[in-house]
Structure 1
Amino acid sequence: RLLDAIKTISNAVGSLGIVGGQTMDIKMKGEKPDPKTLRYIHSRKTACFISASCEIGGILAGTSKKKREALRKGGLYLGMAFQIIDDLLDVIGDEKKVGKRLRKDKDKVTYPALYGIDGSRFRAKAYTELAIRNFQKLGNASDKLIEISKYLEQRMF
Structure 2
Amino acid sequence: MKKVSVCFVCLGNICRSPTAEAVMRHLVGQAGLAERIDVDSAGTGDWHLGEAPDERAQRAGQRRGYGLAPLRARQIGADDFERFDLVVAMDDANVTALQNVAPTATRDKIRLLMEFAPQRNERVVTDPYFGGEAGFEAVLDQCEAACTGLLAALRTQFTV
TM-score range, shorter chain: under 0.3
Q: Larger relative contact order (C-alpha < 8 A, sep ≥ 6)?
A: 2
TM-score by length of 2: 0.27
Rg bigger for which structure?
A: 1
Higher strand content, 1 or 2: 2
Higher helix content, 1 or 2: 1
